[in-house]
Amino acid sequence: MSASKRQQILDTALVLFVEQGLEGAATAKIAKEAGVATGTLFHHFANKQELVSALYLAIKGELAERLPPVTSEIPTREMAGKMWQASMEWALSHPDKLRFLLAYYQSPVLTPETRRTAKFETLGFVLELIKVGQARGELANYPHELMMEVCHSLFMASAGHFIDHPDQAADPEQHQAAMTIFWNALAAPGHHA
Amino acid sequence: MSASKRQQILDTALVLFVEQGLEGAATAKIAKEAGVATGTLFHHFANKQELVSALYLAIKGELAERLPPVTSEIPTREMAGKMWQASMEWALSHPDKLRFLLAYYQSPVLTPETRRTAKFETLGFVLELIKVGQARGELANYPHELMMEVCHSLFMASAGHFIDHPDQAADPEQHQAAMTIFWNALAAPGHHA
Amino acid sequence: MSASKRQQILDTALVLFVEQGLEGAATAKIAKEAGVATGTLFHHFANKQELVSALYLAIKGELAERLPPVTSEIPTREMAGKMWQASMEWALSHPDKLRFLLAYYQSPVLTPETRRTAKFETLGFVLELIKVGQARGELANYPHELMMEVCHSLFMASAGHFIDHPDQAADPEQHQAAMTIFWNALAAPGHHA
Amino acid sequence: MSASKRQQILDTALVLFVEQGLEGAATAKIAKEAGVATGTLFHHFANKQELVSALYLAIKGELAERLPPVTSEIPTREMAGKMWQASMEWALSHPDKLRFLLAYYQSPVLTPETRRTAKFETLGFVLELIKVGQARGELANYPHELMMEVCHSLFMASAGHFIDHPDQAADPEQHQAAMTIFWNALAAPGHHA
DNA sequence: AATGAATGAGCGTTCATTCAT
DNA sequence: GATGAATGAACGCTCATTCAT
């Protein structure tokens, strides 16, 4: 029961944070909506800030889990395509989670520490993929940090776009377009689509 | 004096919002820091929400003002390059303003109305540029909304990256890389760098 | 009006602190009882702790004001008697104030800083009196700090006793006894009553 | 183990109450620090109030145990001196306990009932000593209650003073002075030191 | 007896906003 | 227009206490 109460709180917090913002969602409201007492929330999370961080990391972790392992047995473009597709499928089936990441990635309420953990622990595979692609000459030789930012922002922007416009998300051509944009942004000369 | 007080409030609000978040920056704190009375803030802005919106639109407007007019007399790639450079120069000389846009673009505290105004009034020229580029066959024929999201997110991510890493911002090669990524993302086949 | 609200809060706080203890008297209760809004209390005192300290120092200061100036023109015993009487009169006409000092002098809720201020700023005259008396050979040559503690505790205990037992406070002989105890405690050999 | 848990709780409560005040020391904190579960504390003490009272009475009782029995076979002054010395030795070797008594004797958190029990059950011998001394003409004929208050307050003040100033506690002359003050305060005329 | 997760009333404090001056 | 004291609802959080295990 205890673990489930913790989870209920996280689930409810996600919905309320996305709907009403971090400050719009009072801890008492979250607890009530989750069907637990106010005190229970603070039994599981030392304070509201920690609830936000825990939620952020849980979501990033969940995304990371859904992704296929990086392998160099297939061309980088194919590998990147699989990644993109898996991520996008996850995003479209968990729109609230994507929106939460989108809304608070840059917010000052997230500690740099939390951001860092999210970046390196859960997105380490992106860096790996970039290195492999560069070694094979399939990806351009831009600085790694810049490339990671580009990966992150293009995916987030595309996913957000599709979530905001479900009609367009239903069109495979648009998905194809988004993936092509992503690939062309980072491909080495001669490897563009 | 009155007009200047309004501006003092906006200037102070920007700094405090970026440093401490929207809710971390109490109106009383903003007023005090700006050197005006609490009540004065509410003479100039009906409520806090309006202060946030006014600040958001003022910043977007300031950015729009710095940009060169869209013209079809030069190749799209050159035009896009000028746009990118002018935007980036503005961003790097106003890091707080960029960070503010970055942090609150996706936040639920901004009304959809404000977001819409920002998008169409101040970023209308981006759409214009896309249309011109597509007509000439220099830009790919992706859906306009998707392309605008990509423009926005790539610029924001790159500018944020350079502001966070001033050492890398000093390297012209990195700026070149960022621009190339931007161009390649949207260029029509055969027009990649 | 503003100064009076501050005073209303102090007056109400005194009563509630004595009746219900520091923690029993919620800030909201104090404000309500004082006829002001909760926020007003915090407009005048940064936090509850500061309200307690301000009250403590205000009371000590009020007592100090009531006392006659130390002079060496009369015998030490007479001088001490005047002090004692003036203090006791004040205490008996402000029983709540005396009780407040009594209850919180040793409490860990008072910062050492506040205690120190009370001791030296408002009770400096006691030290002065002791020095004069010793110079004249009328007071015993015990260490000053010990003597001050004795002065303080004998007065507090006696005043508390009389406040708890109004019937005994009405008997001049008992007051005489208390004063004699006080004098004999500190008198030099040969000067006892 | 059970009896020892009760004792662990009392020991820990003493330390935390003295350090952080009655309200600063949450029952959960006490339990944790004592190495027992929250619920265990409430098995041994019906509620927090009872824990405080039990602690208060236990300490008073411990002090009473250390004292020599009152006898009329030696002069009152000698008897009082033995009492004072035994009490002071106990106080100096249990500074936290003394401080606890000091801090909460006057506090409204202690029920009058507890205070009364402490006064008559554990300090009955003081009254006895006073009566014997008066019968012999060695102590002044002041009202008993006043004399008991004086005994109590002088001892508490002196003990507190020595605990706060260990350097002065090391000086036998200061102890002599404190005892002389105590005796002179209550001695009958002609019996002063 | 012992545990510790759960409770929810109540706390100290904040803060957007008002309004008399 | 400008001021800042005053407001009070709402917040994050605490904590004595309970109870199923």
Read off the tokens for A113.
């520490």
Alpha-carbon distance of B1 to A179, in angstroms, equals 53
- D65-88 pLDDT, tens digit per residue, is 999 998 888 999 999 999 999 999
Cα separation of D13 and C19, whole Å?
25
Identify which of B190, D42, B150, C12 has the alpha carbon closest to the alpha carbon of residue A155: B150
Banded model confidence at residue D3, pLDDT cuts 50, 70, 90:
low
> Amino acid identity of C85?
Q
| Contact status, residue A175 vs residue A88, Cβ threshold 8 Å | yes
- Check: CB of residue C138 under 8 Å from CB of residue C81: no
Judged by C1' against the alpha carbon of A1, the nearest nucleotide is E5
Q: Which of A182-186, C22-26, C106-110 has the lowest mean pLDDT?
A: C106-110
C contacts of D108 (beta carbons < 8 Å): 18-21, 24, 103
Q: Which of A106-120, C127-141, D36-50, D91-105 has the lowest mean pLDDT?
A: A106-120
Residue A191: the pLDDT is 96
- B52-186: CATH, from 1.10.357.10, 3.10.350.10, 1.10.3720.10, 3.20.20.60: 1.10.357.10
Q: Express each pLDDT in B19-77 by its tens digit.
A: 998 988 999 999 999 999 999 999 999 999 999 999 999 999 999 899 999 888 999 99
Predicted confidence (pLDDT) per residue in D36-67, tens digit: 999 999 999 999 999 999 999 999 999 989 99
Contacts of D161 in chain C (CB under 8 A): 145-146, 149
Q: What are B64-109's pLDDT values in tens digits?
A: 899 999 888 999 999 999 999 999 999 999 999 999 998 888 777 7
Closest Cα partner for B154 from A157, A119, A120? Answer: A157
Per-residue tokens: A8: 């209920």
Which CATH code of 3.30.70.100, 3.40.50.150, 1.10.357.10, 3.40.50.12780 fits the domain covering A47-186?
Answer: 1.10.357.10
Strands (E), chain A: none
Find which nucleotide's C1' atom is closest to A49's CA.
F12
Set of chain C residues whose Cβ sits within 8 Å of the Cβ of D25: none
Say if the Cβ atoms of B103 and A102 lie within 8 Å: no
Residue A20 token pair: 């009403």
Cα separation, D34 vs D46, whole angstroms: 17
How does DSSP classify residue A74? S
Secondary structure letter of residue D139 according to DSSP = B
**What Cα–Cα distance (Å) separates residue B95 from each residue in B56, B68, B87, B107, C26?**
14, 20, 12, 19, 46
- Chain A nearest-CA distance from B66, in A, is 24
For residue D1, is pLDDT > 60? Answer: no
Please give residues of chain C from 15 to 54 whose alpha-adjacent beta carbon (CB) lies under 7 Å from any atom of strand E.
Answer: 23, 25-29, 38-39, 41-43, 46-49
State the average pLDDT over residues A91-101.
96
Of C108, C146, C156, the CB nearest to D21: C108
Q: Do D168 and C177 touch (CB under 8 A)?
A: no
- Dihedral Cα A36, A37, A42, A47, nearest 10 deg: 90
Which chains form contacts with chain C, at 3 or more CB pairs under 8 Å?
Answer: D
Contact partners, residue A186, CB within 8 Å, separation at least 6: A130, A133, A139, A140, A142, A147, A150, A151, B181
Q: What pLDDT does residue C1 have?
A: 45
Give residue B166's pLDDT band: very low, low, confident or very high (50, 70, 90): very high
Residue with CA nearest E1 C1'?
D2
| CATH fold for domain C48-186 | Tetracycline Repressor; domain 2 (1.10.357)
Contact criterion met (CB below 8 Å) for C68 and C81: no
The pLDDT value recorded for residue A4 is 87
CATH class of D55-186: mainly alpha
State both tokens at A38: 């106010």
Averaged confidence pLDDT in chain C: 92
Six-digit token pair at A175? 């998905």
Do the beta carbons of residue B184 and residue A192 sit within 8 Å? yes
Give the count of beta carbons closer than 10 Å to the beta carbon of residue A85.
13
Burial class (CB in 10 A: 0-12, 13-18, 19+), A159: buried
For residues A60 and A52, give the distance between their C-alpha atoms in angstroms, rounded to a whole number: 12
- For domain D1-45, give the CATH number: 1.10.10.60
String of DSSP letters for C19-88: HHHHHHS-HHHHHHHHTS-HHHHHHHSSSHHHHHHHHHHHHHHHHHHHSPPP-SSS-HHHHHHHHHHHHH
Residues in chain D: 193
C177 or C1: which leads in pLDDT: C177
Amino acid code (one letter) for B175: H
For residue A118, the 8-state DSSP code is: I
Q: Which of A67-71, A112-116, A119-123, B153-157 has the highest mean pLDDT?
A: B153-157
CB < 8 Å from A in window 62-121 of B: 99, 102-103, 105-109
* Cut 0.85: pTM above it: yes
Residues in A touching B190 (Cβ below 8 Å): none
Q: Which of C112, C110, C4, C14 is nearest to C55 (CA)?
A: C14
Both tokens assigned to D58: 């236990």
Query: Considering chain B, what is the average pLDDT of its residues?
Result: 92
| B163 CA from F3 C1′ (Å) | 39
Whether B31 and B38 have beta carbons less than 8 Å apart is answered as yes
C-alpha of B157 from chain center = 11
Q: Coil, helix or strand for D109?
A: coil
Task: Report which of D111, D91, D116 is spatially closest to residue D102, judged by C-alpha positions.
Answer: D91
Between CA D158 and C1' F16 the distance (Å) reads 36
Domains A1-45 and A47-186 share a fold: no
Query: Is C2 near strand F, with its CB below 7 A from some atom of it?
Result: yes
| Of C122 and B174, the one with more pLDDT | B174
B111 residue type, one letter: T
pLDDT at residue A97, rounded to an integer? 96
Domain ranges within chain A, ordered by starting residue: 1-45, 47-186
